[in-house]
């Protein structure tokens, strides 16, 4: 069959139209897409942050109070493995010299040097863990929370090396048999081979509740809120007193402030 | 025609054919019973319109994709509510929403997953982390996988993975 240039172009044009029409039909023929929406009761903020008033904790709280730790561990099914190497930490205690190295005068009052500080993930603005994570299992949310997607974690532990605050723990073994608190059936446990850390109670915020540790503290030493809202609890706590952040020289911009 | 060593060759051939077809005749007539996922939970019994988030046929073929999309939306995009085509809103949560109705994991999820040979703790490893609802009684044949008579983890055959805790 002899085909002139003219017929060839005509056929080509018709084919192109036909292919385009298929896509058009697809686009118009589609039924309504399912909708995914945010929880309406959820709390939202531009930058979630926490202020920890250690003075209140030491002075008003009962001796050796660990209500916040207990509340967190019960809420998130955090195991108690029993060894320091395999310890799983979401919120924990440490001494001044380990909390603020490089910020010591060396002449602090005895009370500050010896009393325990509450530590948790700082939810840094420039989080090193997020930068080093090869699978983006750890990522930064728009509201400032440094979030973990346990499904994606491959257990490489780069984030643990990257975090200057020791806020991340690795599950060297199946944590389930070591959960000593009552199991919270609404929150998952973790699997062997993933890293975990504090999530600023992201799952509670979305249900309209403040973090479990803040709620559990009877002496109101912990305040939580939006750092960009001048009327929030954190901003009010920080406005009246001098506060410190951990290792400011690293430029990670922590979201947890300490009032001493 | 004479076949040298025919006796040995034919005996060998018979043994070979018998062995090669072993899987066919050994399991003949013993097909595993087809899975029967049950939906007779108290919550579903109370429902007037027994409708899941998608039509049943779609759920059968698409639930794994749906769950995978849901987890991405929830964990990474913070969107936790799903509006179904009938306007009903669901929380996108396996542990807190799906299992509220399907509170019979061993009679529902496990039925097909075991039939299809998906290994416990390996293939749909949802339940390594997510907590399945407590079931009143556990008398059913699908439980044989639970006692560890089958390699619990496919890694364990090839490497040191999974040895210490199992």
The per-type count for chain B, helices as H runs and strands as E runs, is: 8, 2
Q: Mind listing the pLDDT tens digit for each residue in B88-129?
A: 889 999 999 999 999 998 889 888 888 888 766 666 788 889
Q: Mind listing the pLDDT tens digit for each residue in A9-37?
A: 999 999 888 888 877 887 777 666 667 88
Residue B142: predicted pLDDT: 40
Q: Rounded mean pLDDT of A136-159?
A: 95
Residues in a beta bridge with A92: A119
Residue A51: predicted pLDDT: 96
Q: Chain A closest CA to B75's CA: distance in Å?
A: 6
Residue A1 has pLDDT above 80, yes or no: no
Residue B160 has pLDDT above 50, yes or no: no
Residue B150: predicted pLDDT: 38
**Separation between Cα atoms, residue A252 and residue A246, nearest integer Å:** 9
B163 inside 8 A of chain A by CB: no
Q: Which residues, 6+ apart, have CB-to-CB distance to A195 below 8 Å? A: A138, A148, A153, A155, A157, A159, A160, A168, A169, A170, A171
Residue B137: predicted pLDDT: 65
Contacts of residue B75 in chain A, CB cutoff 8 Å? 147, 149, 151
Contacts of residue B77 in chain A, CB cutoff 8 Å? 36
Q: Rounded mean pLDDT of A247-256?
A: 94
Q: Mind listing the pLDDT tens digit for each residue in A74-107?
A: 999 999 998 999 999 999 999 999 999 988 888 8
Per DSSP, helices labelled H in B21-146 are: 22-26, 42-46, 56-71, 77, 99-101, 109-115, 126-129
Residues in a beta bridge with A138: A148
Residue B123: predicted pLDDT: 64
| Range in A34-38, A134-138, A244-248 the model is least confident about | A34-38
Residue B138: predicted pLDDT: 54
Rg (CA), chain B: 23
Q: Mind listing the pLDDT tens digit for each residue in A182-230?
A: 999 999 999 999 999 999 999 999 999 999 999 999 999 999 999 999 9
How many CB atoms sit inside 10 A of residue B103's CB?
A: 18
The domain spans of chain A are: 57-259
Q: Which residues, 6+ apart, have CB-to-CB distance to A90 below 8 Å? A: A72, A73, A76, A78, A120, A121, A196, A197, A198
Read off φ and ψ for residue A16, nearest 5 degrees: -60, -45
Confidence band, pLDDT 50/70/90 cuts, at residue A138? very high
Q: What is the CATH number of domain A57-259?
A: 3.30.70.20
> Residue B164's closest chain A neighbor by CA?
A173
**Separation between Cα atoms, residue A6 and residue A2, nearest integer Å:** 11
Confidence band, pLDDT 50/70/90 cuts, at residue B146? very low
Residue B147: predicted pLDDT: 39
Please give the mean pLDDT across all residues of chain A. Answer: 91
Read off φ and ψ for residue B12, nearest 5 degrees: -60, -40
Of B95, B164, B165, the CB nearest to A186: B95
């Amino acid at each position: 069959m002899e085909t002139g240039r003219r017929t060839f172009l005509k056929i080509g044009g018709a084919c192109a139209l036909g292919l385009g029409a298929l896509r058009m039909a697809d686009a118009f023929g589609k039924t309504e897409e399912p909708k995914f929406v945010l929880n309406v009761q959820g709390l939202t903020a531009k930058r979630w942050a926490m202020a920890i008033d250690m003075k209140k904790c030491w002075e008003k709280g009962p001796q050796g109070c660990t209500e916040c730790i207990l509340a967190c561990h019960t809420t998130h099914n955090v195991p108690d493995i029993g060894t320091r190497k395999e310890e799983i930490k979401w919120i924990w205690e440490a001494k001044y010299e380990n909390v603020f190295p490089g910020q010591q005068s060396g002449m602090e009052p005895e009370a500050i040097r010896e009393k325990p500080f509450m530590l948790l993930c700082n939810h840094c603005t420039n989080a090193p863990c997020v930068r080093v994570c090869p699978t983006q299992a750890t990522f930064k949310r728009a509201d400032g929370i440094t979030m973990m997607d346990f499904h994606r974690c491959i257990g490489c532990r780069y984030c643990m090396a990257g975090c200057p605050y020791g806020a991340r723990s690795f599950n060297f073994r199946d944590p389930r048999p070591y959960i000593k608190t009552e199991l919270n059936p609404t929150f998952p446990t973790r699997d062997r081979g993933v890293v975990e850390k504090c999530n600023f109670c992201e799952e509670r915020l979305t249900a309209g509740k403040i973090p479990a540790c803040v709620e559990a503290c009877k002496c109101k030493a912990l305040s939580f809120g939006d750092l960009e809202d001048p009327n929030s609890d954190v901003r009010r706590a920080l406005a009246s007193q001098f506060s410190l952040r951990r290792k400011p020289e690293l430029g990670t911009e922590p979201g947890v402030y300490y009032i001493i | 025609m004479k076949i040298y060593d025919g006796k040995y060759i034919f005996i060998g051939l018979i043994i070979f054919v018998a062995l090669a077809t072993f899987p066919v005749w050994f399991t003949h007539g013993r097909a595993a019973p087809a899975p029967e996922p049950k939906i007779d939970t108290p919550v579903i019994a109370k429902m007037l319109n027994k409708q899941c988030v998608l039509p049943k046929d779609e759920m059968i073929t698409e639930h794994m994709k749906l769950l995978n999309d849901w987890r991405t939306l929830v964990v990474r995009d913070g969107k936790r509510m799903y509006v179904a085509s009938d306007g009903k809103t669901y929380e996108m949560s396996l542990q807190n929403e799906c299992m509220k109705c399907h509170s019979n994991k061993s009679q529902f999820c496990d039925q097909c997953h075991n039939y299809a040979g998906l290994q416990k703790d390996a293939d749909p490893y949802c339940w390594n982390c997510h907590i399945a609802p407590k079931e009143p009684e556990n008398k059913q044949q699908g439980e044989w996988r639970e006692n560890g008579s089958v390699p619990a983890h496919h890694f364990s055959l090839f490497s040191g993975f999974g040895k210490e805790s199992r």
